[in-house]
Amino acid sequence: MKTYKYKIGDQSNTIRIGNLLDDMWQVHAYFHKWQDQRYKDGLPYANYAAMCQHAKDLKRTTHPHWKSLPSQAIQAELERIDNAYQRFFNKLGGKPHIKPRHKFKSITLKQTGYKLTNNRITLTFRKWDKGKWRFDKVPYTFHKHRQWQGTISRITIKRDACGDYWLCLTTTYTDFRPLPATGESVGADFGMKDAFLTLNTGEKIQHPQPLKSNLNKLRSLNKELSRKKKGSNGWWWCVRQLARLYRKISNQRKDFHWQLSSKLCKKFDTIILETLNLEGMKRLWGRKVSDLGFYQFVEIVKYKCQKHKRELRQVGQWTATTKPCSDCGFHNESLTLNDRQWICPECGSDHDRDINAAINILRAGIAVT
Ligand SMILES: [Zn+2]
């Protein structure tokens, strides 16, 4: 499965999508409350089929206005609620709760309710007009920056914090484009101090650290926000600006991660990384860990490796990588976090801390097979 994301252009009737999302939020809120009430009354959990039946009954009786909502979107929302509860029952997630309306961000349609032609998506809205239901077909233009492959299994319309709308097409296509073998392997060490990634070849890759570089802007915007009257036009303007800045930061980070993982996949057949202890790192380093986005980077490398038929290996968390000397194997127990360079007392070789670790990672990774 591959998902393509396109931005829906701003036009005068874009607000109808927003209204539809807000209406769909009511379904979301209603069914969460309903499940809660059932639980309090000692009734068993109502599964997906039971929720669908209940939705049908509601449309006939107390909620006739729900008839204007696309039925597939309602089904998809009920499926989502059911999934959340199933995860909760299987102890995979927390108790499902109602999202605030502004955080309810997307609706999903499977086959009906939309039509795609060229760079347009036509959505069908239902409205009650002169005593009967009418279908309102509204075309929206989206920025088709690339052609999708395969058949579309479902579409999702999203609203982000900046108030922009996005069209996500999920297709059955699997992107598989193997790259020619290079016969090279690489060990890479994540670092906090000198570089984001150090390769065993000695190459050090710096991270742009978008959060850090935009921190001043963020602070001044937050200050401005706190001076404004909550709910006023100026306050909303500030909220939007902040959302835009956060989006920019995350895009910069993502861009860096994609480019770097693509570069690694082109050069090397086998990529060996260490398994990260993110919780511990967060305690030690705070904000910087989130800014670097190690987890996201590993996920992207995983995807890229699958796509280009590369192998990703992860060395266990408890494998010693920093302390042993990569030349003679001597364990330098006196090494602290601040020692960037050290000389091995056994064989006398001069080590850069990160490059030494990268070499050890590479060795440990090769030894696994
Ligand atoms: Zn040594």
202 & 84 share domain: no
- Provide the number of structural domains found in the chain: 2
pLDDT average, residue stretch 158-181: 92
Angle (CA) 37 41 66, round 5° = 35
Model confidence pLDDT, tens digit, residues 140-155: 999 999 999 999 999 9
Q: Which of 193, 196, 170 shows the shortest CA–CA distance to 110?
A: 170
pLDDT average, residue stretch 193-212: 90
Q: Does 19 reside within a domain?
A: yes
Q: Does 128 reside within a domain?
A: yes
pLDDT average, residue stretch 161-188: 91
203 & 127 share domain: no
What distance in angstroms lies between residue 341's CA and the mean position of ligand 1's atoms?
A: 13
What distance in angstroms lies between residue 351's CA and the mean position of ligand 1's atoms?
A: 9
* Contact between residue 87 and residue 97 where contact means Cβ atoms under 8 Å apart: no
- The model carries a pTM of 0.84
Q: Does 215 reside within a domain?
A: no
115 & 196 share domain: no
Q: Does 212 reside within a domain?
A: no
- Residue 369: band (very low, low, confident or very high) from pLDDT cuts 50, 70, 90: low
- Does 98 have pLDDT greater than 70? yes
What distance in angstroms lies between residue 199's CA and the mean position of ligand 1's atoms?
A: 19
| Total count of residues recorded for the chain | 369
What distance in angstroms lies between residue 326's CA and the mean position of ligand 1's atoms?
A: 7
281 & 338 share domain: yes
Q: Does 178 reside within a domain?
A: no
122 & 200 share domain: no
pLDDT average, residue stretch 264-281: 88
- Residue 110: band (very low, low, confident or very high) from pLDDT cuts 50, 70, 90: confident
For residues 189-215, one letter each, b for 16 or more C-beta atoms within 10 angstroms of the residue's C-beta and e for the rest, the string is: bbbeeebbbbbbbeebeebebbbeebe
271 & 316 share domain: yes
Q: Does 30 reside within a domain?
A: yes
Residue 297 to residue 270: CA distance in whole angstroms: 16
74 & 133 share domain: yes
Selected residue with higher pLDDT from 289 and 18 = 18
pLDDT of the residue at 285: 80
Q: Does 259 reside within a domain?
A: no
The two tokens of residue 224 are 């401005």
The two tokens of residue 136 are 């309102």
10 & 139 share domain: yes
Q: Does 242 reside within a domain?
A: no
What distance in angstroms lies between residue 324's CA and the mean position of ligand 1's atoms?
A: 8
37 & 99 share domain: yes
What distance in angstroms lies between residue 33's CA and the mean position of ligand 1's atoms?
A: 65
136 & 200 share domain: no
The two tokens of residue 309 are 């038929």
User: How far are the Cα atoms of 51, 71, 276, 340 from residue 74, in angstroms, in the given order?
Assistant: 10, 5, 40, 57
User: Could you list the residue range(s) of the whole structural domain that residue 300 is in?
Assistant: 185-207+264-368
What distance in angstroms lies between residue 186's CA and the mean position of ligand 1's atoms?
A: 21
Residue 345 to residue 71: CA distance in whole angstroms: 72
81 & 44 share domain: yes
Percent of the chain with pLDDT over 70: 99
196 & 151 share domain: no
Model confidence pLDDT, tens digit, residues 327-342: 888 888 888 878 888 8
What distance in angstroms lies between residue 331's CA and the mean position of ligand 1's atoms?
A: 8
